[in-house]
Copies of this chain bind each other. A is one copy, B any other.
Amino acid sequence: MNLEFIALGGLGEIGKNMMAFKFEDRLLVVDAGVKFPDEKTPGVDLIIPDYSYLVQNREKVLGILLTHGHEDHVGALPFLLQEVPAPVFGTDITLGLASGRINELGIDWEPNPVNPGDQLELGPFSVEFLQVTHSVPGCLGLAIKTSLGTVIYSGDFKFDQTPVDGRKIDLARFAELSRQGVLCLLCDSTNAEEEGFAPSEQKVKAVFEGIFRSAPHRIIVTTFASNVHRIQQIISTAYEFNRKVLIDGMSLVRVVNVAQELGYLRIPEGTLIKAEDISRYPRKSVLIITTGSQGEPLSALSRIASGEHKKIKLEPGDTVVFSADPIPGNETLVAETIDNLFRQKAEVIYGPLSDAHVSGHGYSEDIKLMINLTRPRYFIPVHGEYRHLVKSGRLALEMGIKESQIFILENGDQVSFSPGKAFVKGRIPISPKFVDGLSVDDLSSVVLRERQHLGQEGFVAFFSCLNRKIRKIIGPEIHFKGFLPERMAQEIREELRSNAILVLNQCMSENLDLGACKQKVKEVLQRYFSKKLRKRPFILVDLLEENEGE
């Protein structure tokens, strides 16, 4: 009797969460998220987990459980479903948020809405859905039961005792499950470095009230599009202070529609206004919620900050509130947006850690409380970069769990549970897949490296056509792109052409084949750029021969 656990994504990183459980030769998948590219992965749209393991075992997959609707938990679903069609389970709002990209890509699927408290039999698994609190409604923890025992996955969570929608984390049920015995706890470790407890979402309300009370003109609030609780607080507080609300930014509008439709957002009648109508209201009666909290260049707020937004213009005295913290990596973009807002004489309320924001992920005391509540035999920290997993593991150690029962894993590690035993039995090779335009692939590291080289140094393309018989050289043409300013390029082009023609003539005299000629020309160019300019552009040399062709 053997239960196997593998994380296919989400360990040693924040993003592309995906886990699998295997029991009696059947598989359960938990979450299917994406990760957004950074400077190491230029030009790709999305990074998704390597789920080859699931594809190879597709007929064994009983279902895909979604803990909540954030992109790093549902964004890869349409890609996964194309190769591993299986029923999908999640709360209605989770499925609603996931459906966006699924519909966009025209994928068929079988969404099954569940509620906290529901229990489900899926082959040899019995799954119970648990209410937890996070920065989006409809978040679930999971209790996955087999004859071996119960594994609890916290999902993304924090202990918010005063959640905006009143749906508190189900402490009683967690405690009951622990009394029955919890084999293993998989715990969200994002904020394991932070001391104390994560503050309640409620804390932000007082901050909003303070700001909205004294803001003389328009207010613009930017936050994460998926944070429905925050949007609820912004709207409710705006209403209290007699402000109409405009929601600007595609992703925001989408989320608000889904949330409203499913009853997760209560917006008083007549509160929402359209962009075209904005000038009908005095500035102090308007509040705008926008995308752009991460300084994303095409977002509503960035365009407002640079003056490019067609419908929303800033005026001195307008107040802009950053109700979000910069995700690591985005700090410079956010700082630029803030600077641009100040240039327009707006009053900007911002971080580094915004008072008008609280994290949705539990801090170290939340993690310790979760451990105490569930009293697991084994502990696997998840959803964090390596140092977060290490810190989370140390919290478990502090709580009395033995080091041999704490697993700090990497993506692909396979943990095997059997009666009285648990160990890492191996690691399946994992290589993340990239969504690049319409292709989903192991965008080979060659392509990424080429992009990095091109992006740093630009390229030089050399092209000529040879006729060996009459010793004729057509061209050569030399193109520089992303390499030198045109003025400088012109200065050196002639010299390069002469050098190259010398080499080509020599190659033809020596009767070298085309490949060897290309190589010689490339070397001449490389040496020139390196010595004279200390540059190393990407060099492409192509030679055509007259006897070829059609």
Contact = CB atoms under 8 A, between A and B. Distances in A.
Contacts of A20: none
Interface in A450-465: 450-459, 461, 463-465
Contacts of A443: 485
B459 A550 contact: no
A458 B464 contact: no
A458 B332 contact: no
B42 A456 contact: yes
A527 interface: no
A549 interface: yes
A437 B546 contact: no
A488 B451 contact: no
A335 B14 CA distance: 12
A348 B542 CA distance: 51
Task: Please classify the interface of chain A as helix (H, G, I), strand (E, B), loop, or mixed, using the class held by over half of its residues.
Answer: mixed
A482 B348 contact: no
Interface in A336-385: 338-340, 342-343, 348, 385
A477 interface: yes
A538 interface: yes
Nearest to A474: B549
A442 B484 CA distance: 10
B459 A385 contact: no
Contacts of A483: 447
Interface stretch (A22-30, A95-103, A241-249, A529-537): A529-537
A527 B484 CA distance: 28
Contacts of A62: none
Interface in A470-527: 472-475, 477, 479, 481-486, 488, 501
Contact of A39 (B39, B387, B482): B39
B477 A542 contact: yes
Contacts of A481: 450, 454, 459, 538, 540
Contacts of A450: 458, 481-482
A61 interface: no
B390 A342 contact: yes
A165 interface: no
A214 interface: no
A444 interface: yes
A328 B332 contact: yes
Contact of A455 (B38, B340, B386, B451): B451
Interface in A362-416: 385-387, 390
A441 interface: yes
Interface string A25-45: 000000000000011001100
Given A348-B387, A501-B550, A546-B546, 11 more contacts: A43-B482, A328-B331, A328-B332, A437-B533, A443-B485, A447-B483, A451-B455, A454-B455, A454-B458, A474-B546, A475-B549
Interface of A: 12, 38-39, 42-43, 328-329, 331-332, 335, 338-340, 342-343, 348, 385-387, 390, 436-439, 441-444, 446-448, 450-459, 461, 463-465, 472-475, 477, 479, 481-486, 488, 501, 532-535, 538, 540, 542, 544-546, 548-550
